[in-house]
Structure 1
Amino acid sequence: MTELASPSAKRLQRPSWRDSRLVVGVLLVVVAATLGAKAVASADDRVPVWVAASNLVAGDEVEETSFARADVRLADGMTGYLPADAPAPTGAFMLRDVRAGELVPVSAVGDADAIDVQRVTVRADAMSTTGLTRGSRVDVFVTPKASSTSDAATTPTKKVLESAAVAAVLTNSGSFGSGWMTSVQIYVPSDKVQPLVEAVDGEAKLTLVPSVGAATGGGA
């Protein structure tokens, strides 16, 4: 019987650089990686800006801890915020309030010449200071000390400050008269400093009333 010839098995050969399919495959991988990197880079269009690390009040001097860096994505046309690709402007002053976590506008920071307020520490009834925190805005009412019991009913109460910024709320400073008092530092316009100091020296009663939109609780 004649035996059928069996086909000989071919060895698999390792592809070489001359193999066009291998070259095309490598090129496709390189192109895909390049396009992917460009897509990721173009999608991350965030920019570094400064945000308020705590409630900043008009009149505050900018310190190293005043701002914190944040990378944010700004909408088209949104400019005017303080960039964080440069050092924070320590030694400058806040020209208006900026709440904790808010972006800091360039226009909110300026030189000392633009500041027209001074810090004044006053003592007010603890009940009227409940809930106040740094950055709150208050109206300040003054009731002059009555010279006698009969004059107490006719002693006029006047609003001497409107929407004054609270710089700090200190601990209870002891009793004054029949109630507990709290020391509060407020920013006072320069032309109102003397009348307020005179009222404090005259042992007038000061009452702080939160203005509309005043910050309460938790502000640092």
Structure 2
Amino acid sequence: MTELARPSAKRLQRPSWRDSRLVVGVLLVILAATLGAKAVASADDRVPVWVAATNLVAGDTVDAGSFVRADVRLADGMNAYLGADAPAPTGSFMLRDVRAGEMVPTSAVGGADEVDVQRVTVRADAMSTSGLTRGSRVDVFVTPKATTTGDQASASTTRVLRSAAVANVLTSSGGFGAGSMTSVQIYVPADKVQPLVEAVDAESKLTLVPSVGAVSGGGA
């Protein structure tokens, strides 16, 4: 009886450097390792800084809700921002305006002795305060109250403040129409506080005119 031919078993050969699949595999591993190292190095370049959580105005007291932390990558030499690797300087004061979402410069925060403004509440016609929000800048005009009909015609309007920062806009009162009034808290330079308070006490008419670049509507 004739025996059937038996197939001979092939030995597995050790892959050689000439095997294109091995070369491609090694290159892919090297590429993945390189990209991973770059990603880690890039992430390590980020530094924690404090960012304004809302519109901050010169004169504001810094509290726990004033700043939020953000990890950012700064260009060389950009180290003049408040680092979040230390606690937020609550209890200190804003020395300049910082818009919501902006990094807080170190020079924008200081002590009470560095603040040269005071918060004053005034009442103005609702029409002149429409669109104002925290962080807006306004010029303040004063028209003396007329005591007689003749005085009304001769009353002169004077600008007493330029580019004063709005700290808060309170709810309108007095109903609708031309008689409606709004209370607005503004930061006033120390040497301008007395003239403004005197105007308020004398029941003068105050008109707030937005300065160029004032923030309008929707600010926090």
Measured against the shorter chain, the TM-score band is: 0.7 to 0.9
Name the counterpart of 1:86.
86
Name the counterpart of 2:187.
187
- SS of 1:128's equivalent in the other structure is helix
Percent identity of equivalent pairs: 73
- SS of 1:194's equivalent in the other structure is helix
**Separation in structure 2 between the aligned mates of residue 87 and residue 32 of structure 1, nearest angstrom:** 40
Name the counterpart of 1:116.
116
**Separation in structure 2 between the aligned mates of residue 10 and residue 165 of structure 1, nearest angstrom:** 87
Alignment of 1:69 with 2:69, yes or no, is yes
Name the counterpart of 2:48.
48
Which 5+ residue runs of structure 2 have no aligned equivalent?
Answer: none
- SS of 1:219's equivalent in the other structure is coil
Alignment of 1:157 with 2:157, yes or no, is yes
Name the counterpart of 2:196.
196
**Separation in structure 1 between the aligned mates of residue 10 and residue 135 of structure 2, nearest angstrom:** 85
**Separation in structure 2 between the aligned mates of residue 133 and residue 50 of structure 1, nearest angstrom:** 23
- SS of 2:181's equivalent in the other structure is strand
Q: Name whichever of 157-166 and 76-85 sits farther off.
A: 76-85
Q: Say if 2:127 and 2:178, in contact at 8 Å, map to a contact too.
A: no
Q: Say if 2:52 and 2:68, in contact at 8 Å, map to a contact too.
A: yes
RMSD: 2.8
Change (3 A) 1:145 1:5: closer
Structure 2 matches for 1:124-139, cutoff 5 A?
124-139=124-139
* Alpha-carbon shift at residue 33 of structure 1 (Å): 6.8
- SS of 1:152's equivalent in the other structure is helix
**Separation in structure 2 between the aligned mates of residue 191 and residue 95 of structure 1, nearest angstrom:** 17
* Alpha-carbon shift at residue 30 of structure 1 (Å): 8.6
